[in-house]
Structures are given as C-alpha cells and as structure tokens.
Amino acid sequence: MPEPMSPLDRLVVALDVPTAREALDLAQRLSGRVGMLKVGLELFCAEGPALVRELQTHAPVFLDLKFHDIPTTVKRALEAVLVLNPRLVNVHAQGGPAMLEAASAAVRAHRERGGTTELLAVTVLTSLDRVALGRLGSTADPADMALHLSKLAKKCGADGVVCSAQEARAIREGCGEHFRLLTPGIRPQGVSVQDQARVLTPAQALREGATWLVVGRPITQAPDPVAAAEAILLEMAGQ
Ligand code: C5P
C-alpha cells in the first residue's frame, strides 16, 4: 500500500502570478493550508532560484519547468535546479526514453546524496486534442497516448506523471498503486471552470486515483484564498 497522505499533503496550489511579491504574499497566507506550492515557467523566469528558496520557508515547492531537450541538456538543467531540493520536478515524456532515463539518473543521484525530490513526466498537454495531435502527424487518441507515455515514463524511472484527472483511473490501473499522479484541471463544485475544458471536482479526482491535486485560480483569485483552500481541504477529507 502507498503511504497514507492527508488532504493537506495532496493539495498543490499553482502560484501563477508574475512577481515574487504576489507569490510570497499568497505563500504566507496559505502557509499550513496547502501541501505544496507550484512554481511555473512564468514565475521562475521572472524571479529565479532566490524566490524558490524563500517560498520553501512556507511549504515544499513543485518546480513545474517541463524540461524537453536532448538527454544531456535535460540532465544538466535538472542538476542545476536540484540544488534547490524541490519536492517535485518534471520533464516532457515526449522527450523520449533516453531523455527520461537521463532525467531519472539525475534525480536518483540527488536522492542518493540525501535529496528528497521526485520526478514527474508530462504525458500529453491537455491543450493538445485529437485534432492538434493529427496536425503534429499522429493518429493517436490523446488518452491512449497518455497511458502509453505513462508506462514508458515508469519504465524509464520516473516516479509519476502529470495527467488529466479524467485519465487518472486508467493510468493508475496501468502503472500501479505506487505511481504518482498529479492532476490539474480541478474545480470545486460551483466554481467557474474558466479556460479549463475537462474538469473534475477535488473529491472526484481523488476517487479516480490522483495523488496530488493542482488548484490555481479557484484559490489564488478567490476573494478569500485561505477560506477557498480550507473548503477544498474539507471536500477532500469528506470524499
Ligand atoms: O488556475 P488553474 O487551477 O486552472 O491552474 C492549473 C495549473 O495547472 C496551471 O498552472 C496550469 O498551467 C497547470 N496545468 C494545467 N493543465 C495541464 C498541465 C498543467 O492546467 N495539463
């Protein structure tokens, strides 16, 4: 059995804000109410590693930089950010087996030195539907491709994947109970879906087998982000 995790451990808030000041303000307010802070490309490119170190005084950080390059470049880029010991890092599974193995080797070596980072692979971006994949020259169904890439990522040493909550059940069945599934596109009941197309509620995502839930705007743009996070934690606890 995987280790038990509390709703708090499972809740990841996406800090999709452009400045360190806004990110730190949210991190401070949400301290003790979320399990992890997600720093994406926008914030990392603007503010860099110094901000990550400051955020880590409030909660562990998921560095969502989605590396995709040749194996050596990805390995070296990972080694550069692993100095920060983020809780999670990620790469694109579509970088291929050699790249995934190089990324896994970098994370494994970091853990052998006492680090605690885990590696996730992004399967198929949810912005790519069947039509878009077709235009890229693929006849695959996005959900089938996500499952295929999840199995590949697991074989190449990744700890888990980023996937749509709607694909979580099939990936959980295909990759086993210990494989980590991080799912964005989460909307509590009664909250605007905004630009997300296929959303699940926190309770549904947990039932589908998600390990971590990424929630952004329903918390960060709520009139009271702390109350919004607490409501989500309650929903998760009661599922
Ligand atoms: O605000 P919202 O809850 O939609 O934010 C979701 C976060 O998850 C954003 O940082 C977004 O970039 C990210 N994400 C996503 N869908 C994916 C992968 C990542 O929404 N397939």
pLDDT for 193: 80
Q: CB of 114 within 8 A of CB of 146?
A: no
Choosing from 38, 66, 151, 154, the catalytic residue is 66
- Beta-sheet pairing, 36-40 with 180-183: unpaired
Nearest-atom index, ligand 1, CA of 194:
4
CATH class of 7-232: alpha beta
Q: What value does the mean pLDDT take over residues 221-228?
A: 96
Which residues, at least 6 apart from 199, have a Cβ–Cβ distance to it below 8 Å? 165, 185, 186, 187, 193
Q: CB of 121 within 8 A of CB of 89?
A: no
Query: What are residue 213's DSSP bridge partners?
Result: 11, 183
Alpha-carbon separation of residue 124 from 46, 51, 183, 195 (angstroms): 26, 29, 12, 18
pLDDT for 66: 98
pTM listed for this prediction: 0.95
Q: Whose CA is nearest to atom 14 of ligand 1?
A: 184
Nearest-atom index, ligand 1, CA of 127:
21
Q: Which of 113, 126, 14, 123 is nearest to 59 (CA)?
A: 14
Taking the centre of ligand 1 as the mean of its atom positions, its distance from the CA of residue 15, in whole angstroms, is: 10
Q: pLDDT tens across 46-55, in order?
A: 999 999 999 9
- How do the domains of the chain map onto residue ranges? 7-232
Q: CB of 37 within 8 A of CB of 68?
A: no
CA 139-143-146 angle, 5° bins = 95
**Catalytic residue status for 66:** yes
Which amino acid is present at 15?
L
Q: What value does the mean pLDDT take over residues 98-120?
A: 98
pLDDT for 155: 98
Q: pLDDT tens across 114-153, in order?
A: 999 999 999 988 778 888 888 999 888 889 999 999 999 9
Which residues, at least 6 apart from 117, have a Cβ–Cβ distance to it below 8 Å? 82, 85, 86, 87, 88, 89, 107, 110, 111
